[in-house]
């Protein structure tokens, strides 16, 4: 959970907890029933939880519904709101979990919700890897390198995943009150790491990992982008396209199948064999 007034992994962006936010943005344009944009602002509501206003890539204001579960308020703050802020900054928001190997090879594991990204990351952490970010990974192009920025020291794991990995959930904080999904502390890195590979984990029948050809790299990176429908609504299509092409050229892009179907250990073995040295 976030208790700071700074956005995790983005030290020059602030969080403001406010008593209320307006129902509509001035000159706002709806992009779905709960979200609208206006210029450099995006506001969305989570019924029964909170309303969030993200502005200029520098600030998130959050107005919790009275009596709302604080864990739920922070879950959407650190996920969708933070991802939107990264888009506004002209940076890449990957929908996935990033870990770094003892030899310094950092990978982002992306894919659809529930496909097993965090479970695979937890298996790698059991093998000595360290956590960089969970849920949303901020990636920048800095001095000719793709950098992934740290934002988490815990993975969100369902009870079954914990059972499979031999993790005792007694006393672990739940992601949302009453939910059998928990924050599980991991060894975490304190600074940005060079991103070497981006993996799309799919729930298809298990097979060998596929290294994506350069002409298919940008579409795969788009598929791995967090809430990619927001990019056009924020008028970020052109800068995003340039950034995606640049980062795709600097990373190995891999498709890994067997998510939700294969044991985490088997997936980890296949993934490690496909990574750059």
Q: Where are the domains of the chain?
A: 6-89, 93-274
Convert the pLDDT of each residue in 216-269 to its tens digit: 888 888 889 998 888 888 888 888 888 988 998 899 999 999 988 889 999 999
Over the stretch 8-34, which tens digit does the pLDDT of each residue have? Answer: 889 899 999 999 999 999 999 999 899
**pLDDT at 2 exceeding the cut of 60:** no
Q: By the 8 A CB rule, do 110 and 83 touch?
A: no
103-107, 119-123, 127-131, 258-262: least confidently modelled range? 258-262
- Provide the CATH topology of domain 93-274: Rossmann fold (3.40.50)
161 with 118: CB under 8 angstroms?
yes
Average pLDDT of the segment spanning 153-175: 94
Lowest-confidence segment of 144-148, 201-205, 218-222, 254-258 by average pLDDT: 218-222
- Give, rounded to a whole angstrom, the gap between the first and last alpha carbons of the chain: 35
Whether the per-residue pLDDT at 4 is higher than 70: the answer is: no
């Amino acid at each position: 959970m976030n208790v700071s007034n700074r956005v995790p992994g983005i030290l020059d962006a602030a969080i403001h907890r406010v008593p209320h936010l307006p129902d509509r943005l001035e000159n706002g344009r709806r992009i779905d029933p709960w979200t609208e944009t206006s210029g450099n602002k995006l506001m969305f509501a989570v019924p029964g939880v909170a309303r969030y206003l993200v502005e200029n890539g520098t600030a998130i204001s959050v107005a919790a519904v009275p009596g709302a579960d604080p864990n739920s308020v922070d879950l959407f703050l650190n996920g969708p709101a933070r991802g939107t802020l990264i888009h506004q900054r002209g940076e890449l928001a990957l929908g996935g979990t990033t870990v770094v190997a003892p030899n310094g090879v950092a990978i982002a594991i992306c894919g659809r919700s529930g496909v097993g990204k965090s479970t695979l990351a937890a298996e790698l952490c059991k093998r000595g890897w360290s956590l960089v970010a969970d849920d949303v990974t901020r990636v920048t192009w800095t001095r000719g390198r793709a950098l992934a920025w740290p934002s988490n020291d815990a993975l969100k794991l369902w009870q079954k995943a914990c059972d499979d990995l031999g993790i005792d959930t007694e006393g672990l904080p739940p992601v949302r009150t009453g939910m059998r999904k928990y924050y599980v502390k991991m060894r975490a890195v304190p600074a940005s790491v060079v991103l070497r590979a981006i993996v799309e984990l799919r729930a298809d029948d298990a097979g060998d990992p596929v290294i994506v050809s350069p002409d298919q790299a940008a579409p795969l990176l788009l598929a791995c982008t967090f809430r990619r429908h927001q990019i056009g609504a924020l008028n970020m299509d052109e800068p995003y396209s340039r950034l995606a092409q640049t980062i795709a050229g600097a990373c190995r892009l891999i498709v890994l199948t067997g998510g939700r179907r294969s044991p985490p250990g088997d997936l980890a073995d296949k993934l490690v064999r496909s990574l750059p040295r």
